[in-house]
A and B are shown apart, each in its own frame.
Chain A
Amino acid sequence: DVKVTQSSRYLVKRTGEKVFLECVQDMDHENMFWYRQDPGLGLRLIYFSYDVKMKEKGDIPEGYSVSREKKERFSLILESASTNQTSMYLCASSVNEKLFFGSGTQLSVL
């Protein structure tokens, strides 16, 4: 089975902190994605990557950056966390059209 692992299930950070969310997949997928999920808004794409060191902005990239130094790992970075970034963050990898999701990281920014 494909496994997408997000490093933390719950995370609490303070406003202004730099936050790293890590995601690792074990199936050699080229495509990886970061979404945030908010009640009533569904999933919104933050960034995606289709190859090592390649990245593209999604629909809501402001306040975020990403890093893909190795094929299996895709990191989401909040340079200076703000309270409006409190959310559930979902990482996914894909082969063809099928996405495989991690269990999510619930981030609270106080």
Chain B
Amino acid sequence: AQSVTQLGSHVSVSEGALVLLRCNYSSSVPPYLFWYVQYPNQGLQLLLKYTSAATLVKGINGFEAEFKKSETSFHLTKPSAHMSDAAEYFCAVRSGGSNYKLTFGKGTLLTVNP
């Protein structure tokens, strides 16, 4: 079975600082990996996805993630945090088969301090 582990349930950064949210995956086949973001009182929306093309994936709002097979990681980064980035972030892996079922991590709450 495929799974993802997000290291750190809560990350706090200062405005303008680097954002690094960690995600490690477990998969017996080449994975499809995703980052979703949930702003307060909203559903989740897709930030970016890795589907075996380029290992460095750029997403919306200045976020990017790098797929590292040797480390089984897919960490999310942003060079400079903005107050509007405060949200909960979820890493997810696609399960096998054609029904596009995703398995989500437990989430990381990002706080941005002024």
Q: B-contacting residues of A (Cβ < 8 Å)? A: 4, 31, 33, 35, 40-45, 48, 50, 56, 58-59, 90, 92, 94, 96-99, 101-104
Q: What number of A-B contacts does a CB cutoff of 8 Å give?
A: 58
14 A-B pairs in the complex with CB atoms less than 8 angstroms apart: A4-B43, A33-B101, A43-B44, A43-B107, A45-B101, A50-B98, A59-B103, A92-B43, A97-B32, A97-B49, A97-B94, A98-B49, A99-B44, A104-B42
Given contacts A59-B103, A97-B51, 10 further A-B contacts (CB under 8 A): A4-B43, A42-B105, A43-B44, A45-B103, A50-B98, A96-B100, A97-B100, A99-B102, A104-B42, A104-B43
Cβ contact within 8 Å between A102 and B43:
yes
B: number of interface residues (CB 8 Å): 25
Nearest-neighbor residue (CB-CB) of A106 within chain B: B41
- The answer to whether the Cβ of B34 comes within 8 Å of any Cβ in the partner chain is yes
Which residues of chain A come closer than 8 Å to B67, judged between CB atoms?
none
* Smallest beta-carbon distance A31→chain B, Å: 6
Cβ contact within 8 Å between A42 and B106:
yes
Q: A-contacting residues of B (Cβ < 8 Å)? A: 6, 9, 32, 34, 36, 41-46, 49, 51, 90, 94, 98-107
